[in-house]
Amino acid sequence: MISNRTQVTEMIRAAKVAKGLTWKAVADAVGNSKEWTTAACLGQMAMTKEQAATVGELFGLSDEAVAWLQIVPYKGGESDTQHKDPLIYRLYEAVHVYGCAMKELIHEEFGDGIMSAIDFDLDIQRQEDPKGDRVKILMTGKFLPYKVY
């Protein structure tokens, strides 16, 4: 009996190590970006029937688990326990240090509103650099102005 999406994420994590799969290979099979696909496998996005079937086959999941992949998950919960991981913490730290500057500059350019985290995409690349390669993270999100009524 599977009663929440987290159990499926654990099955996927276990199968990934046991089978030696990479997220890129999973993304190629699914036909979406590696960023969306990885987040989806880790329980942050809902999959279509076809996407779920592909993922289920790759990881050897049961039909019940494949059904759960198509359910809209409770998102955002997992990273809390992982807040102190140094890689993830650096992302939070960038917001601690630059959060106000980002707010000020986005308002200066767009006025009052926010960058959507829903109509949003993410792209992570290696940027070669003779002084040491860099991680390049590109986020774009639709600007949503506050409604005045």
Q: Tell which positions 80-99 bind a copy of itself, by CB under 8 A.
A: 80-82, 84-99
C-beta closer to a copy of itself: residue 57 or 107: 107
- Does position 62 interact with a copy of itself (CB under 8 A)? The reply is no
Helix (H, G, I), strand (E, B) or coil at 113: strand
Chain center to CA of 36? 6
Active site (annotated) includes residue 33: no
Query: Count of residues binding a copy of itself (CB under 8 A)?
Result: 101
Active site (annotated) includes residue 79: no
Helix (H, G, I), strand (E, B) or coil at 59: helix
CA distance linking residue 139 with residue 20, whole number of Å: 29
- Does position 130 interact with a copy of itself (CB under 8 A)? The reply is no
We find the least distance from the C-beta atom of residue 57 to a copy of itself, in angstroms, to be 18
**Could you give the angle at which helices 23-30 and 34-41 cross, rounded to 10 degrees?**
100
Cα distances (angstroms) measured from residue 6 to each of 9, 20, 64, 113, 148? 5, 21, 13, 33, 39
Using CB under 8 A as the binding rule, the residues of this chain from 11 to 50 that contact a copy of itself are: 11, 13-14, 17-18, 20, 22-24, 32-36, 38-39, 42, 44-46
The catalytically annotated residue of 13, 57, 62, 90 is: 90
